[in-house]
Amino acid sequence: MENNQRPTIAIMLGDTQSSYSEDLLRGFYTCAREEDINIIFLMGPQMPQYCKDILSCSFDGDYNYQFDTIYDYVHFTKPDALIITYGSLSIFKSNQVKTEFLSHYKDIPFLMLEDTPDDPDIPFLIADNYNGMRQCIEHLVNVHGYRKIAFIAGPANNKDSNERLKAYRDVMAEHQLPVTDDMVVYGNYSELVTEQVEYILDHNPGLEAIAFANDNMAKAGYRVCAARDLLVGHDIAITGFDDIDHAKTMEPPLTSVSHSSFQFSYQALQNALMLCQGKKPQSCRMSAIFHQRSSCGCQLHNGLTALHHISREQLHDFMRQQVDAMAEELFSSIPYEKDRSYYTELLHAYFQYIYEGIFLKKGAGFSNESMIRYLKKLTSYTHISGGMLLEQLTSLLRTLISSSEEELLQTQLSSILSFTQQYVHSADVFRLEKEIMDSNRKAWFVPSFTRDLINSGANFKETITHIMERLHLMNVKSSFFFFFDKPVIHQENELAQYPDEIYLAAYFHDEKSVYYEPGKRPKVTTDNGFSSFLPKEHTHCYTSFILFSGDEQFGLLLCEVEQKDISFMQICSLQIGALLHFIQLNASERQIQKELQDSMKVIQEQNSILSYISEYDDLSQLLNRRGFMERASHAIESNSGKKAYLLFGDLDHLKEINDCFSHLAGDFALRTVSERLRKCLPKDAITARLGGDEFVSFILTDMPDFKEQLLQSLKKESDAFNATCDKPFYVEISVGIYEFYCNPQMDLTDILKHSDAILYEEKAKRRASIKK
């Protein structure tokens, strides 16, 4: 693949889970396509902060630090320019010295976002955090007269947060308002700041307002206040910063400060393009706008006056003015004039249709369905949320309804309002259903993907090809696998040492998979870079994922994937990393597995022998005392209410046999009795030699006259044996049989005593001597 002339810009991002970062990322995607730029994203931790414990508590250790090493791959991308959003990186690099970090990229033209460098020659782009927050705090003090205002800052090492905190402290000092240590706490820019909000409320009785360094943390403020029955905007004021989409639809709407992330993305890419051309862009602070809403205590009016007794021409002018104001609120952050004009015209067309059809033609020929052509295009624009759009549309419609004196007009306008609400809500529901379906699809894909990877008996080429084709099914347009010759070992708190080259092993593009065998793989160095292998026919936005398992890094995966699928791909990359580790060890693993199976077979055989030895009597081949007690006790417990018998027997005159005829003769007699019991007792009887001359058997049966039949059978077998046996002694057994019904509370020892008592009576009837 030849180098293409389209510039490639690498973008470092840290926290991509916040609403602001998502908006920033969305802006990069949109602007890259508009400006015909290739982008390679190098993103740090993709796991949300509220999920970090999932990796940190794994059995083999916490390897979350591996994600941060993605920034070490920048030189392999060989970008024409680099954008470093240091503000988001600093959240995860609390111990990183900024100057040292930036020095790694001094050979690449780069600019900083969300922070200012110490070197004046490095261009930067940052929001006017100070003045934006200053407007907010001054509003709380001057307009509402609040005197006790607390502040929840972002990470202590974050530039944006520190500037916002300074604005708070300065305004409070200028108005001679106290700020104690308990009035300022630090959060993490996420919604996981419940403890901080609780602390502020607990340690500041009479608190009037809390200013949050961003809107995400303000959401936590809403939740905590609701749990304490504090009404936001009435009992306590809350403000945020960033003015994310959700801020406008929170209840009550959140007072916030905005600086357009879309404009931020656009300006950053414009400045990066200047760097590609060898020009130095001007550093600047993007202006911030204060938006007062109900959460600070303001009782806002929509700014729409009553329209009684005005002419149709005045009404038309008023509607156009309100639509222009609406368009400014909705579309002012869009950097592209053609988009702003297009969607502004759609708004005008929507209300012009209402004006002509309702106010001029009195509803003649008017159809709600005709408005779908406008609403469909408005709701499909990804940079405007359905909630914001609906809020603006319905606000003007309600004013038109309240201003109309004619009942017919009110009815018609109310119908339009209802239809508009229904359509926008339906569009949101449809989008949500699609997201849920997509989420379910991903949820099912991951385990099946993992199963296929682990269970596949395919070779490496087939496996990698299968992975790329499976990913393509999940909307990954193209993918590139780059591997080191050998895995790189990277321990935590150590500087990663990477080889000078990495190799393109396989790629999927344009519905085609290509695999390179080891030894034939194209080499990637800092001289040619990943970008030289990327397709050149159209603009691409690639996201990079480290392929690692434990402390081993195998390489990098570049995917052309949509923003909404980035977190999903991170999960897949973790599974692929585990697979690569598995493949690496596969040859030795198979040998180990075979040895393990052989060992397990030996162990099982030995265990079987040990189990037999521990539970069986070697001489009689019957159970021993331990084996009998375990099995008989279990049988009694599991057969509650069933009829059973316990036989207790003694070999007659064993001592006499041993003394007179030898112990070998005694062993013969014991084996003979054992075989006699096996022959006469039911097959499922639990029979044992307890030791010496004692035998016992547990029989579960409800057969009538069982006891009498068993005694007869034993006597018959004994007589038959002794009549034919050439031994000079009789082999006979005395038995006592006890009948009972099984009960889990029974003590087997007590039952044995009952049988033994019966046996004692029977032994009185035995021969005086066993000699023939």
214-268 residue pLDDT tens: 999 999 999 999 999 999 999 999 999 988 878 888 889 999 998 877 888 889 9
pLDDT higher than 90, residue 678: yes
Apex CA 341: angle with CA 337 and CA 344, to 5°?
135
Report helix angle 407-455 to 460-473, nearest 10.
170
Q: What is the pLDDT of residue 560?
A: 94
The candidate with the shortest Cα–Cα distance to 264, out of 387, 43, 88, 47, is: 88
Question: Encoding tokens for residue 591?
Answer: 């040998």
pLDDT higher than 70, residue 659: yes
Q: What is the pLDDT of residue 90?
A: 55
Q: Is 750 helix (H, G, I), strand (E, B) or coil?
A: helix
**Highest mean pLDDT (candidates 38-47, 571-580, 611-620):** 571-580
Instruction: Please report, in angstroms and rounded to a whole number, the separation of the first and last CA atoms in the chain.
Output: 106
What CATH number was assigned to the domain covering residues 617-763? Answer: 3.30.70.270
Across 100-107, average pLDDT: 86
* Single-letter residue type at 715: K
DSSP states along 395-449 = HHHHHHHHH---HHHHHHHHHHHHHHHHHHHHHHHHHHHHHHHHHHHHHHHHHHH
Same fold: 8-116+456-584 with 617-763: no
High-pLDDT (> 90) share of the chain, %: 50
**pLDDT category, 34, cuts 50, 70, 90?**
confident
For residue 179, report the phi and psi dihedrals to the nearest 5 degrees.
-130, 105
Q: Which of 52-66, 240-254, 618-632 has the lowest mean pLDDT?
A: 52-66
Q: What is the pLDDT of residue 2?
A: 42
Q: Is 591 helix (H, G, I), strand (E, B) or coil?
A: helix
**pLDDT category, 337, cuts 50, 70, 90?**
confident
* Single-letter residue type at 596: L
Dihedral over Cα of 333, 334, 335, 340: its sign: negative
Q: Which of 102-116, 337-351, 359-373, 437-451 has the lowest mean pLDDT?
A: 437-451
**pLDDT category, 686, cuts 50, 70, 90?**
very high
Q: Which of 257-266, 414-423, 635-644 has the lowest mean pLDDT?
A: 257-266
Domain boundaries, the chain: 8-116+456-584, 129-258+277-296, 312-434, 589-615, 617-763
Specify burial of residue 476 (Cβ count, 10 A radius: 0-12, 13-18, 19+).
buried
Q: Using an 8 Å Cβ cutoff, are 159 and 116 in contact?
A: yes
Q: What is the pLDDT of residue 697?
A: 95
For 171, other C-beta atoms within 10 Å of its C-beta total 22
Across 372-400, average pLDDT: 88
Q: What is the pLDDT of residue 87?
A: 61
Report helix angle 586-615 to 625-638, nearest 10.
90
User: 616 pairs with which residues across the strands?
Assistant: 623
pLDDT higher than 60, residue 306: no
Q: What is the pLDDT of residue 47?
A: 57
pLDDT higher than 90, residue 176: yes
Q: What is the pLDDT of residue 160?
A: 86
Across 617-646, average pLDDT: 91
Q: Using an 8 Å Cβ cutoff, are 507 and 533 in contact?
A: yes
Q: What is the pLDDT of residue 456?
A: 62
Q: What is the pLDDT of residue 695?
A: 95
Across 61-84, average pLDDT: 84
**pLDDT category, 768, cuts 50, 70, 90?**
confident
SS3 track for 1-35 = CCCCCCCEEEEEECCCCCHHHHHHHHHHHHHHHHH
* CA dihedral angle for residue 20, residue 21, residue 27, residue 32, rounded to 10 degrees: 170
Q: What is the pLDDT of residue 17?
A: 67
Q: What is the pLDDT of residue 647?
A: 95
- Over the chain, what is the mean pLDDT? 87
Question: Encoding tokens for residue 307?
Answer: 């329209």
Q: Which of 62-71, 151-160, 417-426 has the lowest mean pLDDT?
A: 62-71
Residue 240 CA to residue 161 CA, distance in Å, equals 12
Q: Which residues contact 69 (CB under 8 A, 6 or more apart)?
A: 490, 496, 546, 553
Residue 439 CA to residue 568 CA, distance in Å, equals 9
**Highest mean pLDDT (candidates 111-120, 158-167, 245-254):** 158-167
What is 8-116+456-584's CATH superfamily?
Answer: Response regulator (3.40.50.2300)
Q: How long a stretch of residues is the chain?
A: 772
**Highest mean pLDDT (candidates 136-140, 298-302, 489-493):** 136-140
DSSP states along 458-498 = --HHHHHHHHHHHHHHTT--EEEEEEEEEEEE--TTS----
Specify burial of residue 243 (Cβ count, 10 A radius: 0-12, 13-18, 19+).
buried
High-pLDDT (> 70) share of the chain, %: 91
* Residue listed under structure tokens 């393990």: 596
pTM for the full model?
A: 0.67
pLDDT higher than 80, residue 496: no
pLDDT higher than 80, residue 64: no
pLDDT higher than 90, residue 524: yes
Q: What is the pLDDT of residue 117?
A: 83
Q: What is the pLDDT of residue 304?
A: 44
Across 576-605, average pLDDT: 76
Longest dimension (CA), the chain: 139
Q: Is 271 helix (H, G, I), strand (E, B) or coil?
A: helix
> For 183-206, what is each residue's pLDDT tens digit?
999 998 889 899 999 999 999 999
**pLDDT category, 632, cuts 50, 70, 90?**
very high
Q: What is the pLDDT of residue 329?
A: 81
From 3.30.565.10, 3.40.50.2300, 3.30.1130.10, 2.40.10.10, which CATH number describes the 129-258+277-296 domain? 3.40.50.2300
Q: Which of 21-35, 212-226, 514-528 has the lowest mean pLDDT?
A: 21-35
Residue 484 CA to residue 546 CA, distance in Å, equals 12
Q: What is the pLDDT of residue 94?
A: 45
Which residue blocks in 204-300 are alpha helix, DSSP H? 215-227, 245-249, 261-276
Does 352 or 492 have the greater pLDDT score? 352
Q: What is the pLDDT of residue 3?
A: 44
Residue 466 CA to residue 230 CA, distance in Å, equals 56
